[in-house]
Amino acid sequence: MKRGRRLSPAKEFFRKIGTILPEIKKPDKKVPLRNRLIWSLVILILYFVMGGIPLYGVSTSPTDPFATFRIIFASSTGTLLELGIGPIVTAGLIMQLLKGAEIIKFDFTDPEERAVFTAATKFLTIIVTVIQATALVLSNYLRFIEASISVVVITYLQLVIATIIVMLMDELIQKGWGIGSGISLFIAAGVAKTIFISLFSPVMIQFDNVAEPFGLVPLFFSKLFTGDFSRVLIREGAYPSLLSFLMTLATIFIILYAEGVRIELPISHARYRGIRSVYPVKLLYVSNIPIILASTLIGDLHILGNVIWNTLNPEGKDPLLNMIIYIETAEDGTQTIKGGLLYYLIGPSDIYQAIEDPLRTIIFIISMTLLAVMFAYLWVEVGGLSSASVSQQLIDSGMQVPGFRRRAYSVNIILSKYIPTVTIIGGIFVGIIAAVSQILGVFGGGMGILLMIDILMNLYQLLLREQIEEYYPIVTKLIKV
């Protein structure tokens, strides 16, 4: 990292930290598309391998209290990917919010400041990893096979080193060795894997002392010979069923339709009059960001709630702490949230729980929707997506709206009619989709489906652009002009 102009104390600190943090070097020249696809595949296989290696020295709870958030964080319980991309996403979002709110100002046109921002994100990722690992230990989720300092140290090292490896894998792809973003690739692959397992897994599970396949397709053929199709239609415990499969298809079609709903504002180049285009204001204007932020917040509160219960209120005698979280512990050590604020924020995991406690269901849907709207509005303001910011960006890029003076104020008046409205509507849409799909047991979860579709659409567009740049370089030059 080269030293340039004088940096602020905070940036100078991160610059020095960046000199000792591991870093992936950018390729000297653009890597061919075929090689980038191979690198992406290799990284994805390595990620799945890490997800199959169990943590040494610990065992996990019989039930997974964080199952709802596994899709968002691309994590795997009891493995090297116990934390998944959670620390990376959390650190990245914190840095983006700090930058957007101009608490720490970064000029991304300056390579040195971009390097400082990357170093700060990496450093914060490690800090978040240590904090989350500590929380998991204190929450009694990770159970040590031996109560010794050496086992605790080994556990920390596994979680921290695995997160650093995942961080470098993501950086390798983003630096130009692969395609797109490693984080996006891990999330999309994780959702696709969950859907595949839900459909075809032959693993047997116990229900009323009767063994039956976990996957919907094997279950269908097993019940075909017994004639008991009630278990195929709907199952307790969020196991795959025909209802959840139909809801998955419906969710996919609804999201695809919503992705195509947009208002296209005509724009033209101020200097080259013949160059015309449109600026699309999509219904899902802020895409999946609100639900990622909301899920990250609830997930972190869930971990914190478990820490509070197991360290300060393990017997549930503090009425004030019980208002935050109340957990029942079974004889085998399994812990289940049964009350408190987090009970309503996390929400029911299947339709049976939703029917059993309708008040919880209603509060969960409303809470998730309000959080999504709040984070949608926040992200638009701090992420440079507000009508004022977009107007200035269009003017700076040499564009204008035909029939209006080439001033940011004029463009802002037009965009202000649409952007605030679609921000709120989009937040409501993704909030309801995420909440309802969780209750109905959608394969991969509504949040996961939303993320996967958005990631795959962006990846498809990126591949098309890469192919054009590789096979038609002259066209690429004309477009850039």
Q: What pLDDT score was predicted for residue 351?
A: 83
Main-chain dihedrals φ then ψ at residue 280, nearest 5 degrees: -80, 130
In a domain, 454, yes or no: no
Distance CA 481, CA 81 (A): 44
- Number of structural domains the chain divides into: 1
Q: Which of 359, 361, 349, 373 is nearest to 294 (CA)?
A: 373
Q: What pLDDT score was predicted for residue 157?
A: 87
Q: What pLDDT score was predicted for residue 479?
A: 45
Q: What pLDDT score was predicted for residue 296?
A: 78
Q: To which H or E segment does residue 268 belong? A: strand 262-269
Longest dimension (CA), the chain: 76
* Residue numbers of the chain with a pLDDT score lower than 50: 1-4, 475, 477-481
Q: Which of 152, 148, 77, 90 is nearest to 121 (CA)?
A: 90
Q: What pLDDT score was predicted for residue 333?
A: 65
Q: What pLDDT score was predicted for residue 359?
A: 92
Put simply, whether the predicted model's pTM sits higher than 0.85 gets the answer no
Q: What pLDDT score was predicted for residue 271?
A: 65
Distance CA 429, CA 127 (A): 34
Residue 384 Ramachandran class (φ > 0 left, ψ -120 to 50 alpha, else beta): left
- Write the DSSP symbol of residue 68: G
Range of the domain at 139: 1-179
Q: What pLDDT score was predicted for residue 474?
A: 54
Q: Which of 362, 471, 382 is nearest to 423 (CA)?
A: 382
Q: What pLDDT score was predicted for residue 299?
A: 79
In a domain, 157, yes or no: yes
Q: Which of 277, 198, 194, 243 is nearest to 351 (CA)?
A: 243
pLDDT tens digits, one per residue of 202-214: 888 877 677 888 8
Q: Which of 292, 21, 1 is nearest to 164 (CA)?
A: 21
**Residue 54 belongs to domain with CATH number:** 1.10.3370.10
In a domain, 453, yes or no: no
Residue 331: count other Cβ atoms within 10 Å of its Cβ: 5
Q: Are the CB atoms for 167 and 88 separated by under 8 Å?
A: yes
